[in-house]
Amino acid sequence: MSGKRGNGEGSIYPYKNSFAAYVWVTTPDGKKKRKYVYGKTREEVHDKWIKLHADAKKGPVATRHRTVAAFLAYWLESIVKPNLAPLTYVSYEGSVRLYIAPHLGAKRLDKLTVRDVREWLTKLASECQCCAQGKDAKRAPARRRCCAAGECCEAFTSRRVIQAARDALRAALTHAVVEEEIGKNVASLVKVPKPRRRRIKPWSVVEASRFLADAAAREDPLFAAWVLVLCLGLRRGEVLGLTWKSVDFEAGELYVDHQIQRAGRQILHRETKTEESDDFLPLPALCLKALRMRRAQQTGDRKAAGDLWQDDRELIFTTKYGTPIEPGNLTRMFALRARRAGLRLIPLQKTRNTCASLLVALGVHPKVAQVILRHSKIAMTMEVYAEASEEDVRAALDSLSGAVSGTG
């Protein structure tokens, strides 16, 4: 084809042994600017020019595109940090810093493709992260023992981490689409295998009763915490976030509206995740007695600590100096107490599955249990009640009551 311009091609011209063209577009900030396209041949540029004209008619078009790393930095600081929970920011920031930016950060945001994302995830699954992040190389020379010493430890990324990294990129690109920096979210088009969860059998009522009886007999300072976890199904953060203002001993109620969370280097006492998580829960007699015991224990701790006491939130569960308990420490203490009681280990969050059966054994009225379990229909609660009425359950609760009475 000759170098002569065709009809309607007034904006196409020779440029550095190739061709270029421009279209006047409206940018996302409302300004009028030229947007350029380039190609080896006039036909190639003409096709891009036609497409750019069509895009300009649909809405704003960005004339400058950031790299993936630059956009992710902006997204974390301006979108995630001020608007989402601190724990969400920590999770996204870790995924960006460790897994996304090192591989995709240099790419232009508008040039990122589905293939790029798929190849990144494939590489992430097959790459030793100790090598990639230089974990062993950061140790003192005398302490290096694997990758930096020439013996790869094959610390491959788990499916759960890969899914979290893809989800973080997808969330960021969703916002890039909203801000009209890109036309589509390529990360949402790439599927990743779901991590398989190992099914763990929760404790039976007998096992839970043995655990509580052992804690009561040893006058465990966290006995009331274990009671609330097992009898009310409270989450770890919810238990640690309880204050004495949350307890109404006369009405026999507990108001759950705060939690303790570890976010990076901070321990935060903040509201629960959603309004649906906030609720008034009836307190069975065992819970009330355990909380009274805890109040007496804390009074003793406060007197012993004297001026070192630091509790300004009136938390129910604190260290011996009144500071909040680290959530990870509560998990470790739960495992330690379980071993001490001679029980098989289960994750702390699995105790919620035991809660319903314990309520049955404690003789809690089905309607009250429905509120505690947050069942939408009483029929669901009655199914639980129909399943748990064995004699050994009652015997286990009798031994628990005896242990608690001895402690009181």
Q: How open is the CA angle 220-224-229, to the nearest 5 degrees?
A: 115
pLDDT mean over 302-331: 89
Structure confidence at residue 387 (pLDDT): 57
Q: Which of 20, 30, 101, 102 is nearest to 63 (CA)?
A: 30
Model confidence pLDDT, tens digit, residues 357-389: 677 666 667 777 776 666 667 777 676 665 554
- Using the 3D structure, point to which of 129, 159, 189 is the last residue of a domain: 189
Looking at the fold, whether 383 and 240 belong to one and the same domain comes out as: yes
Looking at the fold, whether 147 and 222 belong to one and the same domain comes out as: no
Q: Residues 6 or more apart from 42 whose CB is under 8 A from it?
A: 1, 3, 9, 12, 19
6 located within any domain: no
10/13 Cα distance (integer angstroms): 8
Q: Which of 24-38, 86-100, 392-406 has the lowest mean pLDDT?
A: 392-406
pLDDT at 191 over 70: yes
CB 60 within 8 A of CB 24: no
Structure confidence at residue 42 (pLDDT): 87
Q: Residue 284 belongs to a domain with what CATH number?
A: 1.10.443.10
Task: From residue 13, give the alpha-carbon distance in Å to each of 20, 44, 47, 92, 191.
Answer: 6, 12, 14, 45, 42
Model confidence pLDDT, tens digit, residues 319-361: 999 888 998 999 999 999 999 999 998 888 878 767 776 776 6
Q: Residues 6 or more apart from 219 whose CB is under 8 A from it?
A: 297, 407
Q: Which of 73-77, 129-133, 295-299 has the lowest mean pLDDT?
A: 129-133
340/193 Cα distance (integer angstroms): 38
Domain count, the chain: 3
Looking at the fold, whether 212 and 340 belong to one and the same domain comes out as: yes
Model confidence pLDDT, tens digit, residues 55-70: 888 777 766 678 999 9
pLDDT mean over 263-274: 73
Q: Residue 129 belongs to a domain with what CATH number?
A: 1.10.150.130
CB 124 within 8 A of CB 81: no
**Which tokens sit at 351?**
């105790």
Looking at the fold, whether 233 and 96 belong to one and the same domain comes out as: no
Q: Give the strand pairing for 18-26 and 253-256.
A: unpaired
Q: Residues 6 or more apart from 116 whose CB is under 8 A from it?
A: 104, 107, 186
117/120 Cα distance (integer angstroms): 5
350 located within any domain: yes
pLDDT at 147 over 70: yes
Alpha-carbon dihedral sign for residues 122, 126, 132, 138: positive
Looking at the fold, whether 30 and 141 belong to one and the same domain comes out as: no
At 174, the pLDDT band (50, 70, 90 cuts) reads very high
Structure confidence at residue 395 (pLDDT): 53
292 located within any domain: yes
7 located within any domain: no
Q: Which domain range does residue 73 map to?
A: 68-189
Residue whose tokens read 């065709």:
6
Looking at the fold, whether 255 and 168 belong to one and the same domain comes out as: no
Looking at the fold, whether 147 and 243 belong to one and the same domain comes out as: no
221 located within any domain: yes
107/245 Cα distance (integer angstroms): 53
Looking at the fold, whether 254 and 215 belong to one and the same domain comes out as: yes
Structure confidence at residue 24 (pLDDT): 85
200 located within any domain: no
DSSP bridge partners of 282: 253
CB 56 within 8 A of CB 35: yes
CB 61 within 8 A of CB 26: yes
227 located within any domain: yes
Model confidence pLDDT, tens digit, residues 202-258: 787 788 888 998 998 888 999 999 999 888 888 888 899 999 998 999 988 888 888
Residue type, 159: R
CB 264 within 8 A of CB 86: yes
Looking at the fold, whether 243 and 367 belong to one and the same domain comes out as: yes
Structure confidence at residue 384 (pLDDT): 61
Residue whose tokens read 């006058």:
219
- Using the 3D structure, point to which of 158, 189, 220 is the last residue of a domain: 189
Average pLDDT across the chain, whole number = 82
Structure confidence at residue 7 (pLDDT): 45
Model confidence pLDDT, tens digit, residues 74-88: 999 999 999 988 888
Q: What percentage of the chain has pLDDT greater than the value 70? A: 83
Looking at the fold, whether 231 and 153 belong to one and the same domain comes out as: no
- Using the 3D structure, point to which of 189, 218, 244 is the last residue of a domain: 189
pLDDT mean over 297-309: 90
